[in-house]
Chains A and B, each alone.
Chain A
Amino acid sequence: MTEDTESPAPGLTISCQEVVELVTDYLEGELDDATRLELEAHLALCPGCGTYVEQMRLTIDELGHVPVDTLSDQAQQDLVAAFRTFHSPGPPGT
C-alpha cells in the first residue's frame, strides 16, 4: 500500500474557517456528497468544529422556545365571535 502524499487525509482538505461557513448548508442538507463527506470527516477529527456545529444546533433548538407575539386577546375574541356569527344556523324552521 503506497502513501499518496499528494492528497491529504479525509477531513484535512477543508479548514475550520471553511467549516463554519458551510455549517448552514450542511444542516440544511444542501451540500453535495463529496463536500458533506469531507466536512463530516473533518468534524470527526476536530473538536473545535464539532463544538461549533453542536452550538449551532443548540442555538436553533433554543430559538424554537423564544416567546412570540400574537394577536391581542380582544382581537382573538372578536375573530372567534365573527366565526360563530358566520356559522350560526339560519332562522329556525328552515
Chain B
Amino acid sequence: MQHDAPMTTSAAPLQMHDESGVPVPRAADGDDSALVDRLRRGEEAAFVTIVNGWSPMMLRVARSHVSTDASCEEVVQETWMAVIRGLDGFEGRSTLRTWAFRILTNLAKTRGVREARSVPMSSWAPADEDGPTVDPDRFRAPGDNYPLNWTSVGAPTQWHPAPEQSVVAGETRRLLGAALQELPERQRAVVTLRDVHGLSSEEVCALLDLSQANQRVLLHRGRARLRAVLEDYYRGATEVTA
C-alpha cells in the first residue's frame, strides 16, 4: 500500500493522513490527539517518530533565520527540549506540529537577532523575482501568425525515460538537490518546504512571514528554474555533448 507514491503536486491541496498509524513520509500529522496522548504517556516510539519526521523541516525553517548549520541544529534541539517540557501544557488549540513550529520560529528569530541576521525574509531584497521564467526566444514573435506560442524548436519535448524511472532517478534527484542550493534563498526556502517537505502553502506563509501571493511567486520561479535544470539534463542526454 505505502509504496513510493508521489507525495504532492497538482491542483488538489496536499492531503495528509495516516489511518494505519504508519508514519507517512515527511509531512503527515495523523491523529493529533492520539499522538499527544502517546507522548504524554512517555511513549518513546512516538517521540522518535516526530523527531525523525519534523526535524528536517525544522532545520530548513531555522536556516531562514540563523546563519550557520550548527546554529540551526542547536535551535532545533532547543525546540525539542521545549516541546518535551511544554507538552503537558499544550492545549490542543492548534495541531502539535503547528505549536512545535511556533516554538521553533520564536527561538530561531531570537537567535537570528543575536546573530545579527534579524532581517525578516519578507524584507530581503528581491532576487530574480520578475521577468519571464522561460527564455522568450522559445516563443514566436508578437507579430507572428501564432504570436507568443512555442516555436518548433522552442517547444518542450517529453522526457524519456521519466524522471522517476530507476535508471535516471538517482541522477535527477541529485541534480534537483544541487539546483535547489543554487536558488535565491527565498525561492529555495519556499520550494524546499513546499515540495521537498510537503508543507501546505498556509504553513509556509506562516513560517516564513510571506503573503500567499508572494509565496506563489517564489514557488513559481523556483519550480520553473528546477524544471529547466531537468530539461537541460534530458537535452544533454539526448544530444551529443560538446
Chain A interface residues (CB < 8 Å from chain B): 15-18, 20-21, 23-30, 46-49, 51-52, 54-72, 75-76, 78-80, 82-84, 86-88
Contacts and interface: CB of A to CB of B under 8 A. Distances in A.
A58 B234 CA distance: 13
Given A20-B134, A69-B56, 15 more contacts: A15-B139, A20-B224, A29-B11, A29-B12, A29-B13, A51-B158, A57-B10, A58-B162, A58-B163, A58-B164, A59-B226, A60-B8, A66-B176, A66-B177, A83-B47
A46 B162 CA distance: 20
Interface string B107-131: 0000000000000000000000000
A78 B155 contact: no
Given A15-B148, A62-B173, A76-B51, A55 B156 contact: yes
A68 B52 CA distance: 11
B195 A64 contact: yes
Contacts of B224: 20, 23-24, 56
A68 B193 CA distance: 11
A30 B51 CA distance: 33
B20 interface: no
A61 B76 contact: no
Given A16-B150, A17-B148, A30 B42 contact: no
Contacts, number: 176
Contacts of B176: 59, 62-63, 66
Main DSSP-derived SS at the A contact region: helix
B193 to A, nearest CB: 11
Q: Which of A23, A58, A76 has the most CB of B within 10 A?
A: A58
Interface stretch (B28-36, B78-86, B91-99): B78-86
Contacts of A62: 163-164, 169, 172-173, 176, 230
6 contacts: A28-B219, A29-B13, A58-B159, A60-B6, A66-B180, A82-B80
A50 to B, nearest CB: 9
B91 to A, nearest CB: 19
Given A47-B155, A51-B156, A64-B198, A80 B11 contact: no
Contact of A17 (B134, B230, B231): B134
Contacts of B169: 62, 65
Contacts of A56: 223-224, 227
B195 A25 contact: no
B155 A51 contact: yes
Contact of A71 (B77, B81, B162): B77
A26 B219 CA distance: 12
A75 B8 CA distance: 29
Given A62-B163, A70-B59, A18 B148 contact: yes
B9 interface: yes
